[in-house]
């Protein structure tokens, strides 16, 4: 599986608007892609999500972390970094990949906490989210 996973991760680590078109090298035609904001199927829809990322954020890139491979699936941790309105944001998350017998991705499911990793860091939206998180957090000590 590492012969399939490592080229995919290298592609993500070096992803540019020009290389988004290479998604079909890694994703099955009917692959599902899901994250906190999107749930799409098919290579064209996955490419649209990636193009949207480049359109709406500055200098987006992935820093690949740990990998766990088991049979025809893998879990990979990553940090996504970008700028929004001139401010740097970093989002920590992980992706569950499932592969078919040909080594193509059939499932790409991103796991990350949109409230903690992104929304609470934004100026207007962040204050109520931070308040809610404090309100529901257990107070120790």
The confidence band for 80, taking pLDDT boundaries of 50, 70 and 90, is: very high
CATH value at residue 90: 3.10.450.50
Q: 120 with 130: CB under 8 angstroms?
A: yes
Residues 62-75 have pLDDT tens digits of 999 999 999 999 99
The confidence band for 3, taking pLDDT boundaries of 50, 70 and 90, is: confident
Residue 141 within any structural domain of the chain: no
Residues 82-129 have pLDDT tens digits of 998 888 888 899 999 999 999 999 999 999 876 555 555 566 666 665
Query: Helix, strand or coil for residue 92?
Result: strand
Residue 75 is predicted with a pLDDT of 98
Q: Domain range for residue 65?
A: 2-136
The Cα–Cα gap between 61 and 41 comes to: 23
pTM of the model as a whole: 0.82
Q: How many domains does the chain have?
A: 1
Residue 28 pLDDT > 90: yes
Residue 49 within any structural domain of the chain: yes
The Cα–Cα gap between 107 and 34 comes to: 8
The CA-atom distances, in angstroms, between 25 and each of 6, 21, 67, 103, 105 are 13, 9, 20, 10, 10
């Amino acid at each position: 599986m590492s012969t399939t996973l490592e080229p995919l991760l290298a592609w993500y680590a070096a992803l540019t608007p020009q290389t988004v078109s290479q998604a079909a090298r890694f994703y099955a035609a009917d692959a599902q892609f899901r994250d906190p904001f999107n749930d799409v199927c098919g290579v064209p829809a996955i490419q649209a999500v990636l193009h949207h990322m480049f359109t709406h954020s500055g200098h987006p890139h992935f820093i690949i972390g740990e990998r766990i491979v088991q049979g025809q699936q893998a879990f990979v941790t990553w940090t996504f970094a970008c700028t929004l309105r001139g401010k740097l944001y970093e989002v920590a998350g992980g992706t569950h990949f499932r592969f078919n017998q040909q080594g193509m991705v059939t499932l790409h499911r991103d796991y990350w906490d949109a409230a903690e990793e992104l929304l609470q860091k934004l100026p207007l939206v962040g204050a109520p989210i931070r308040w809610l998180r404090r309100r529901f957090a257990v107070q120790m000590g």
